[in-house]
Amino acid sequence: MNITMIVPTVAIKRNPIYRLGGRLYGNGNAITGPLIMGGILKRAGHHVEAYQELQGAVDYKRILKITDVVCIYTMTCLAPRAYELADMFHEKGHARVIIGGMHATVMPEEALRHADQVLVGEGEDTILDVVEGRITDPIVQCKPICNLDDVPWPDYSILKTPVKAANIMTSRGCPFRCSFCTTTRMFHPFRKRSVDSVIAEIKYYHKLGFQYMNFEDDNFTADKERAKEICRRIIAENLQFKETFFFGRTDMADDPELLELLSQAHLTRVLIGIESLNQDALDSINKHAKVESIQRACQACWDHGIRVIASLVLGLDTDGPEDIRRSYNFAKDVGAYQIQPAILTPFPKTPVFEEFEKEDRMITHNWELFDMTHVTFQPKKMSPWKLQEMFFEACDNFYDFPSAIRIWKKFGTEYGLRRIYLATVTTLGVPLGEWAADHLPFMSYYKLKRTPWKYAPAGQSEKTADIVANNNADIVPKNKKEGIPAKIGKTIAITAGAVGAVCGVAFALKKGFVPQI
C-alpha cells in the first residue's frame, strides 16, 4: 500500500517567508512519532512518504491520487488543520484516514468525526495491525511501550520535507505533573532507554550526516546520573554535534559536574521552565521549584557557555503584570539567549482546563488559538486583552538590539545575528498586532480586545482596572513609555538596517560561513 504520514501546521506557518524565519530562529527538526511508525510500515513492505508542513510545501494533488492510507498527527492547535486534511482526503481521494497524536489521544470522539480510525496513546505496537486491517475498532486504545529499547529509531529516509537537526528521545513522560502540561496525559508512566541504546542512535545520526541534534525528552536531566553517563560516552567517543538542544530543570545548578559534562558534550542549548518568579505561582502549578534555584541555574548555564531558552508562563492566577515584567526582565538580565513567553493555555483534559470549564472561564474552544500565543481564558489579575498585551510586551522588551550585541560577544556571530533577527521581528510585529486589534474585525485579536473581563473590580471599567494593575508594576513597559505611534516610527526608522542584517543572517547560515569575533 501507499501510505502517507502528515504532520500539519497552521496557515501562517505554511508561508515560505515564515519558513525562512523559522530557519533563522533555529534548526528545523521533525516530530519523531510519524517517522518511527512510518519506518515500521516501510519495513513491512509498504511504500511510505512522510511530510511536515512546517518544513516544506506538500504536493497534495499528487498525494491524493496515490495514497491508500493517510496517517495524520495532531496537536491541539493543529487539530483544525488535521481535520481539514482528513476531510479533503475523504472528499477528493480514496485513502483511509487514521488520526493520532496528542490531541486525538485526549479528544478521540472529536477526531473520529473526521477519521476512519483514531489511535489513542503510543501507536508503535499497533500501527501495522491497524493499517493492514487486523484491528478495525474505530477508536484504538494503544498500550504504552514498556521497554523503550525495543522502539525502532525514526526513519529519516521517508521524510520528504528535509530537516537539519535529528531528534532523539531517551525517555518518555516526566516524573513531574505540572497542572497545565499535556505530556504526562499521553506518555505515562515515565520510562527511560538504556545508555547503550541512546549512544547507538547518536552514532546512526552521525552516519546520516546530521550536524545538529535535539534531545526531545521532556526533562533530559531528570535522572542526573544517567544524563552524566550519556554525556561521558558522547565525549569519550567523539560523538559531539555542532550543537545539541535539550530540556532541563533548574536543579541542574546543584550539580557542577553535570553542567561541565553538558558543556563538553556540546549540549549547549537548553529550555528551562522558569514559568514565574512568583513562588506562589510555582506552587500553584506543582512546579516543584524554588525561585532561588531558577536564579542559580540561569547564571550557572551562562558561566558554562550553555544558551538558555527561558520559558515563562503568562497568566497564572497569582501573577499580575508586575510579576510578568519581573520574569522577562530577569531572563534578560541573566543573559537568556531566547525567551519563550507561553500564555497559559488550558489544553483539553488537563487539570487547568477542567478547572476553568467548571468556573466558566473559557472564552473560546477554537483549538487553533491553543498555541500558547493567544489568550483563551479569563485571567484573574488582568483582562484577557491585557494578558495578550503582556505577551507582546515580553517579546518586545526581551528582544532588543543592545542585548543582541551582548549575546554576540558571549556566544559568537551566528547567535548574535539570530538575536538581531528576532529583535527585528518583534519590533515590526508587535505594533502590527496591536493595530490589527483595532482595525481588523476578522482577527482573533480584534475579538479578544472586546471581550468583557469577568473579574473586573466592581465599579471600575475594564480599562481602568488594567491601568490600576499596570500602575502597581515595578517597571513601566517600554511601549507604554513611547506610545504606539512612536513605536511604529522607530520601527520604520530601523527597518532598512534590520533588513540588511536579516539578509546577512540568511546568507551566512545558508553558506555555513560563521565568522567569530
SS3 117: strand
Are 222 and 117 members of one domain?
A: no
Residues 167, 135 share a domain: no
Query: 22 to each of 41, 56, 146, 443, how far by Cα in Å?
Result: 30, 11, 35, 23
Which of 120-124, 317-321, 417-421 has the weakest average pLDDT?
417-421
Q: What is the mean pLDDT of residues 464-478?
A: 50
> Does 484 have pLDDT greater than 70?
no
Number of domains in the chain: 2
Instruction: Pick 274 or 203 by higher pLDDT.
Output: 203
Q: Do 122 and 252 sit in the same domain of this protein?
A: no
Q: What's the pLDDT score for residue 487?
A: 45
Q: What is the model's pLDDT at position 241? A: 97
47 Cβ neighbours under 8 A, 6+ residues apart: 1, 2, 3
Shared-domain flag, residues 178 and 134: no
Closest-CA residue to 342 (of 374, 297, 368, 319): 374
Is residue 298 located within the same domain as residue 340?
yes
Which has the minimum average pLDDT: 3-7, 382-386, 463-467? Answer: 463-467
- Chain segment 270-327, per-residue pLDDT in tens: 998 876 666 665 566 555 556 677 778 888 998 999 999 988 999 999 999 999 998 8
Same structural domain, 325 and 431: yes
pLDDT in tens, 255-272: 999 999 999 999 999 998
Lookup: cell for 162: 528535509
Task: Write down the pLDDT at residue 514.
Answer: 34
CA distance 186 to 122: 7
How far apart are alpha carbons 314 and 322 in whole angstroms? 11
pLDDT of residue 515 exceeding 70, the answer is no
Whichever domain contains 112, its CATH number is 3.40.50.280
34 with 66, same domain: the answer is: yes
What number is the average pLDDT over the span 348-352?
A: 91
User: Is 183 in the same domain as 129?
Assistant: no
CA distance 340 to 391: 10
Please state, in angstroms and rounded to a whole number, the distance separating the CA atoms of residues 175 and 220. 11
CATH of the domain at 174: 3.80.30.20
Where in the sequence is the domain holding 395, given as residue range(s)? Answer: 163-436
